Chain A
Amino acid sequence: MKTPLTWLKEYVDIDIPIEDLARRMTLAGLEVEEIRYVGYPLPDAAQRREAKVSGFAWGPDEIVVGAIHEVMPHPDADRLVLCKLDDGEKMHTVLTGAPNLFPYKGAGELDPPLKVAYAREGATVIDAYSESAEMEYTSIQRKKIRGVDSYSMACSEKELGISDEHEGIILLDADAPTGVPLVDYIGDIVFDIAITPNFARDANIIGVAREVAAITGAELRCPDLTIPQEGASIQGKVEVEITDPALNPRFCLGLIENAVIQPSPYKVRLRLNLCGVRAINALVDATNYAMLELGEPLHAFDYDILQKRAQNDGAEVPTIITRSAKAGEKLVTLDGEERTLDDFTILVTDQTGPLALAGVMGGADSEINDETANVLLEGAAWNMINTRRTVMAQSLPSEAAYRFSRGVHPALAPQGVMRGLRLMQEWAGGTVAQGLVDEYPNPPHDPTVEITPQNVRRWLGIDLSAEEIAGILESLEFECETPPQSPPRIAAKTPAHRLDIGTGVVGKADLMEEIARVYGYDRVPETRMADALPPQRGNHDLDIEEKLRDMLASLGLQEVINHRLTSPENEARRFPAGEAPEEAYSELVNPISPERSVLRRSLLSSVLNTVESNYRIQDRIAIFEIGPVFLPHEGEELPVEASRLALAITGPRTLPDWGGAVAGEMDFYDLKGLLETALGGLHLGKVRYVGGKNPTFHPGKCADVYLGEGKIGSFGELHPLVRENYDLPGTPLLAAEFNLSAIITAVPALFDVSPIPNQPPVFEDLAIVIDEDIPSEKVAALIRQTGGKILTDLRLFDVYRGDQVGEGKKSLAYSLVYVHPERTLTDKDVLKIRKSIIYRVERELGGKLRD
């Protein structure tokens, strides 16, 4: 909401500095996003300031109101004219090519003279011819143009930073005082205020002025709504019929006759322009001006057109009917678009058909045109939800729709019409008909809310007396009564311009906001909660999750977090082409792009994407991600959000450095080692790794991980056919995906720690030769079982295949540590165990001790 200071000052006195005002408005909820200085000097750029600052300053001695007394042809240039201009000090000859002076060329002495924005020699203006995107300035120098001495100029709006208009020069109103600094005459400061939905009532000058009055303690002046109604009565000239008061609580019409289509005064056009509204003609400008001022959007109909339509239909006078549209009904709006309507759209029609999209935009057939003389002016109230839905469905934002879709109090309707008629008469002449046609079937209830100082204490933590509370609310035009009783209470009646105050406890909360805002959030003290602490419960799942994150990071893995929106095609890449199973996805109805059209099902797919996007940057990648996947579930409206852990590693085992350590590429056992360490670190208990089948992984390099009987995840080397689906390097890529909830559930709350043995350990190495097909885990299990409790550690330190052990065989070399808790072990003890291990290896696994 762009708010010119000069306009604001018509309704409230402001005697604090601009930046202070901006700060106080911002703190009170009217956030000033930008302050635009139109003609006034900008604040020091180096200083801290409340909002973004823009604008262009006009030198008060250099840029003044000038009066052109005569426009003369240039002796040898058709496109230039010479002006006899009075700048309040003396007459000048000013050269210009402005086409809007050509009509006056050779017309002799002008009476009244034309008032212009005159820049004297040396003045700085904006370079209107600069092609640069940045604003560039130029200083006016004396030079000869086509033989004529030129040292000053009459300015366009662009040259003064008012608008981009550079077709002609500014022609000020006739009463502009010659010689006065231009900034004193039309300079302004425009606050751009962000209006939050609950402040919709303030999307107008009076609304902002009311807030300023409340926070500065100044008096709010009300606009003059009286007008000389000299015409005949409006009664009998138009009928109004509201079919659904819930959609249209109020509908007012006023009439002005014999107005003249002409431009509004320059000052009006300038204000509209500064508010971001294009000036059209005095009649249309009056509707916009009144709306910006009061917040009541108005719509102007050409009365004669309505009259003609009624008479063609055999009626005496037009009847305005408001109703909901029929689905599929059509209307051409005044932007020339033919619109197909929905049944929630509210229409203003007459006997013969639709005239306007109520509260949003008028129709092309009945709008103000160059011939219009008699204007029927509508001010109404519309259901905000229907308006909002229409705006959305038609993608048709407008100033009117903006306000009606946030709620406009019906009390404003006649005020808007009266103000609009007055402005029309002022700027376009004509006679205002007596009275209004005012249908008001559905007045809103303006709630009265009772609050007490104790309420304020309980909500805000501040102590205010009943009088102080009433004072604050009255500054916002609440009508307050404080009956003399104990404990004191205030009954505050909501003023008839706002719809945001509820009843009961909601109304109380609404008033708390008003009290806190006007009192000043900055004056509320800071306290620490004295309320009881709730029972402390902790968050076990998150604790474990965070522990796992720490563990994986400490193992050298980088945490990543991917987008959770993906596409089925992307996720299908984790299977060999043609082998992707049919999977049900939670799909977005309104995706931004096909690449992000569904909720992911696979976290593995996410980490593979990350590897793919990074491997060109570095060849060693080791990452993990923790997060949900979304699994639609038959019969459930919401997908199951299952917690997952995924890992991916690829590239050299160590980082490249000058030491030249050659450690090779990471393989299956690197990932397995990471998993063993991480899961071991959670004291998960008995984790089993079993050869697995998973189409994503190499069939011979894939394992499933079991915890008891339940599978908790799988991992392996990426299948070569899957690799082909990605843009990936040739090195093995190892990846894993786990069901994180299953891991978290299995983490024990407590775990036991064994005592440090007092007895010396005995170390022994043992190499076993067995068939290649026998998994090493079987050998290890056999050794562990045979060794029993005194075998405290078993580690595989070598796997050998080759001539020394023969074809189809492998040698597994283990180092064993024996410790007896109570006594020192003898060679005999150890030999006994060794013998039984060898015996069982031979009998049960068909292996033998390697010589």
Chain B
Amino acid sequence: MLEKLEQIKKTALTALTGIEGEEALNKWKTTHLGRSSAIMDAFKSMGSISKEDRGIMGRTANQVKLALQAALDEKKDALHQAAIQHALQEEKIDVTLPGYAIPRGRLHPATQTLREIYRVFADMGFQIYRSREVETDEYNFQLLNFPPHHPAREMQDSFYVASDADRGDNPILMRTHTSPGQIHAMRELTAEAPDNPPPVRIILPGMCYRYEQVSTRYESQFTQVEGLAVGKDITFSDLKGTLSDFARRMFGQDVASRFRASHFPFTEPSAEMDIECFLCGGAGCQVCKHSGWLEILGCGMVHPNVLSNGGYDPERYTGFAFGMGPERITMLRHHIEDIRYFWANDMRFLEQF
């Protein structure tokens, strides 16, 4: 009997080794562990075995059954692993094929640069103030200390807008800079508290227009960002500090800047700020015309006449203002050589940002 049990185990295990599929394995299970399998028959025949042998026979039969069960589990697991391995082999793909294209939206580069500028100045307490694009000569020029026929107007040729009435020295025009907003903003604040108006710290972004023949370097419309800070304790050294901070945030922590005397009717003293060329590190290259410097913005202390026109007493208040061209900054950073790209909206340009 013991031999028979051993034989059952041997037969079953031998049959198991050849099995390779789930179906065959189920069949094997029915044959060797099912209700009418040899081992189950052995259990059924236990009653006919002598009492003294029954103990050992029972234990042995149980061991055979457990061994077969364990062998089955092991086989099952092995087959599962093999199936997965096989599937993994089968499912292999060419990972170098390109991914599926997903349409992506982007912001216009002018918007992107404007936002960077907003962010830096927002951290310094400058809030954004916007004003209209069609202005009067008074706001665009006269209140900013450009009297009629002032020579500095030559640098800002204007587009004039037709009007029904003869407006004499105060025609309607497309603003040539965002500076009219300086007057609007100051007048709003002084209207609230004429005797002791609050300090001003704003930046003025927006589209400006100049009568220019369009070329790779000049556009008839361009965005500008100006800044204005007015208070009772604001100095030229604050102007230098604020704008140098800006340059470091915008162009890199180590970037050097310098200030050159210049002229704008609405500031005095006036300056141009250059930053050390970030393309050549100041060694001199084509972009900086070998000077090592890039002209980035114009600035200065607000002219007393402009403060007065805004309602701020120039004997008590001082302030500084600055202005820059986001397109120029974008062009310098990305080696763009044609300013006309900005409003031509060719997707091949826009989609590179």
Q: List 24 A-B contacts (CB under 8 A).
A: A46-B284, A47-B284, A48-B290, A49-B290, A52-B290, A200-B151, A505-B304, A516-B269, A521-B260, A526-B240, A527-B235, A531-B199, A556-B102, A558-B350, A560-B345, A561-B342, A561-B345, A563-B220, A564-B209, A588-B174, A589-B162, A630-B134, A637-B163, A655-B101
Say which residue of B97, B149, B284, B346 sits within 8 Å of A388 (CB atoms): B149
A531 to B198: give the CA distance in the assembly, Å.
Answer: 11
Contacts of A751 in B (CB 8 A): none
CB of B259 within 8 A of CB of A522, answer yes
Given A641-B132, A657-B100, the answer on whether A197 and B151 have CB atoms closer than 8 Å is yes
Asked if B127 is at the interface (CB within 8 A of a chain A CB), the reply is yes
Q: Pick out which of these stretches binds chain A: B27-35, B67-75, B225-233.
A: B225-233
CB distance from B319 to the nearest CB of A (A): 9
CB of A52 within 8 A of CB of B289, answer yes
Asked if A753 is at the interface (CB within 8 A of a chain B CB), the reply is no
CB distance from B174 to the nearest CB of A (A): 8
A498 to B217: give the CA distance in the assembly, Å.
Answer: 35
Q: Which of A494-511 contact B (CB under 8 A)?
A: 505-506, 508-510
CB of A51 within 8 A of CB of B291, answer yes
CB distance from A216 to the nearest CB of B (A): 15
Q: Pick out which of these stretches binds chain B: A7-15, A363-371, A458-466.
A: A458-466
Interface digits, B197-238 against A, CB 8 Å rule (1 contact, 0 not)? 011110000010101111000001100000001011111111
CB distance from B67 to the nearest CB of A (A): 47
Say which residue of B189, B237, B242 sits within 8 Å of A524 (CB atoms): B237
CB of A559 within 8 A of CB of B269, answer no
Contacts of B245 in A (CB 8 A): 528
CB of B161 within 8 A of CB of A588, answer yes
Q: Pick out which of these stretches binds chain B: A272-280, A313-321, A532-540.
A: A532-540
CB distance from B237 to the nearest CB of A (A): 3
Give the 9 A-B CB pairs with smallest separation, nearest first: A461-B237, A29-B261, A461-B235, A531-B231, A655-B101, A196-B263, A513-B269, A48-B284, A553-B105
Q: Pick out which of these stretches binds chain A: B1-9, B12-20, B50-58, B108-116.
A: B108-116
CB of A458 within 8 A of CB of B221, answer no
CB distance from A201 to the nearest CB of B (A): 12
Say which residue of A459, A534, A559 sits within 8 Å of B111 (CB atoms): A559
Asked if B325 is at the interface (CB within 8 A of a chain A CB), the reply is no
CB distance from B209 to the nearest CB of A (A): 8
CB of A590 within 8 A of CB of B211, answer yes
Q: Pick out which of these stretches binds chain B: A330-338, A613-621, A723-731.
A: A613-621
Q: Which residue of B lies closest to A589 (CB)?
A: B160
Interface digits, A594-637 against B, CB 8 Å rule (1 contact, 0 not)? 00100100000000001001100110111100011010000001
Asked if A708 is at the interface (CB within 8 A of a chain B CB), the reply is no
Q: Which residue of B lies closest to A641 (CB)?
A: B132
Q: Which residue of A lies closest to B238 (CB)?
A: A529
Q: Which of B79-99 contact A (CB under 8 A)?
A: 97-98
Given A509-B304, A559-B106, the answer on whether A618 and B284 have CB atoms closer than 8 Å is no
CB of A517 within 8 A of CB of B261, answer yes
Contacts of A384 in B (CB 8 A): 149, 151
A555 to B97: give the CA distance in the assembly, Å.
Answer: 26
CB of A48 within 8 A of CB of B291, answer yes
Of the candidates A556, A558, A620, the one having the most CB atoms from chain B within 10 angstroms of its own CB is A558
CB distance from A729 to the nearest CB of B (A): 14
Given A529-B242, A638-B132, the answer on whether A620 and B343 have CB atoms closer than 8 Å is no
Contacts of B161 in A (CB 8 A): 586-589, 599, 639
Asked if B191 is at the interface (CB within 8 A of a chain A CB), the reply is no
CB of B133 within 8 A of CB of A564, answer yes
CB of B152 within 8 A of CB of A197, answer yes
Of the candidates B163, B165, B212, the one having the most CB atoms from chain A within 10 angstroms of its own CB is B163
Q: Which residue of B lies closest to A533 (CB)?
A: B125
Asked if A554 is at the interface (CB within 8 A of a chain B CB), the reply is yes
Q: Which residue of B lies closest to A28 (CB)?
A: B261
Asked if A115 is at the interface (CB within 8 A of a chain B CB), the reply is no
Q: Which residue of A lies closest to B272 (CB)?
A: A31
Given A29-B263, A459-B301, the answer on whether A389 and B149 have CB atoms closer than 8 Å is yes
CB of B240 within 8 A of CB of A537, answer no
CB distance from B197 to the nearest CB of A (A): 10
Q: A510-B268, A525-B241, A531-B229 are in contact. List 20 more A-B contacts (CB 8 A).
A: A200-B151, A389-B149, A513-B261, A521-B271, A527-B235, A529-B231, A531-B231, A535-B198, A539-B129, A549-B107, A559-B107, A564-B133, A564-B209, A586-B161, A588-B159, A588-B162, A614-B345, A617-B348, A621-B347, A658-B98
Contacts of A556 in B (CB 8 A): 102-105
Asked if B181 is at the interface (CB within 8 A of a chain A CB), the reply is no
CB of A527 within 8 A of CB of B240, answer yes
A500 to B88: give the CA distance in the assembly, Å.
Answer: 85
CB of B103 within 8 A of CB of A620, answer yes
Asked if A482 is at the interface (CB within 8 A of a chain B CB), the reply is no
CB of A539 within 8 A of CB of B127, answer yes
Interface digits, B146-178 against A, CB 8 Å rule (1 contact, 0 not)? 001111100000011111010100011010000
Asked if B182 is at the interface (CB within 8 A of a chain A CB), the reply is no
Given A458-B235, A559-B105, the answer on whether A617 and B347 have CB atoms closer than 8 Å is yes
Contacts of B314 in A (CB 8 A): 505, 509
CB of A592 within 8 A of CB of B263, answer no
Contacts of B309 in A (CB 8 A): none
Contacts of B125 in A (CB 8 A): 533-534, 536
Contacts of A599 in B (CB 8 A): 134, 161, 174
Q: Which residue of B lies closest to A657 (CB)?
A: B101
Asked if A825 is at the interface (CB within 8 A of a chain B CB), the reply is no
CB of A561 within 8 A of CB of B110, answer yes
Given A558-B105, A563-B221, A586-B134, the answer on whether A48 and B292 have CB atoms closer than 8 Å is yes
Asked if B270 is at the interface (CB within 8 A of a chain A CB), the reply is yes
A461 to B110: give the CA distance in the assembly, Å.
Answer: 35
A552 to B261: give the CA distance in the assembly, Å.
Answer: 44
Given A526-B241, A530-B233, the answer on whether A385 and B133 have CB atoms closer than 8 Å is no
Say which residue of A27, A550, A628 sits within 8 Å of B133 (CB atoms): A628
Asked if A230 is at the interface (CB within 8 A of a chain B CB), the reply is no
Contacts of A52 in B (CB 8 A): 289-290
CB distance from A387 to the nearest CB of B (A): 10
Contacts of A749 in B (CB 8 A): none
Interface digits, A580-591 against B, CB 8 Å rule (1 contact, 0 not)? 000000111111
Q: Which residue of A lies closest to B284 (CB)?
A: A48
A546 to B284: give the CA distance in the assembly, Å.
Answer: 38
Given A198-B263, A406-B151, A459-B236, the answer on whether A532 and B106 have CB atoms closer than 8 Å is no
CB distance from A509 to the nearest CB of B (A): 4
CB distance from A558 to the nearest CB of B (A): 6
Asked if A26 is at the interface (CB within 8 A of a chain B CB), the reply is yes
CB of A565 within 8 A of CB of B240, answer no
Asked if B262 is at the interface (CB within 8 A of a chain A CB), the reply is yes
CB of A590 within 8 A of CB of B159, answer yes
Say which residue of B160, B305, B342, B347 sits within 8 Å of A618 (CB atoms): B347
Contacts of B236 in A (CB 8 A): 459-462, 512, 516, 524
Asked if A770 is at the interface (CB within 8 A of a chain B CB), the reply is no
CB distance from A28 to the nearest CB of B (A): 5
Given A555-B105, A638-B136, the answer on whether A592 and B151 have CB atoms closer than 8 Å is no
Asked if A100 is at the interface (CB within 8 A of a chain B CB), the reply is no
CB distance from B114 to the nearest CB of A (A): 10
CB of A405 within 8 A of CB of B151, answer yes
A621 to B105: give the CA distance in the assembly, Å.
Answer: 10
CB of A560 within 8 A of CB of B108, answer yes
Asked if B41 is at the interface (CB within 8 A of a chain A CB), the reply is no
Q: Which residue of A lies closest to B233 (CB)?
A: A531
Interface digits, A655-675 against B, CB 8 Å rule (1 contact, 0 not)? 111110100000000000000
Contacts of A741 in B (CB 8 A): none
Asked if B10 is at the interface (CB within 8 A of a chain A CB), the reply is no
Contacts of B261 in A (CB 8 A): 27-29, 513, 516-517, 521
CB of A637 within 8 A of CB of B136, answer yes
CB distance from B318 to the nearest CB of A (A): 6
CB of B270 within 8 A of CB of A513, answer yes
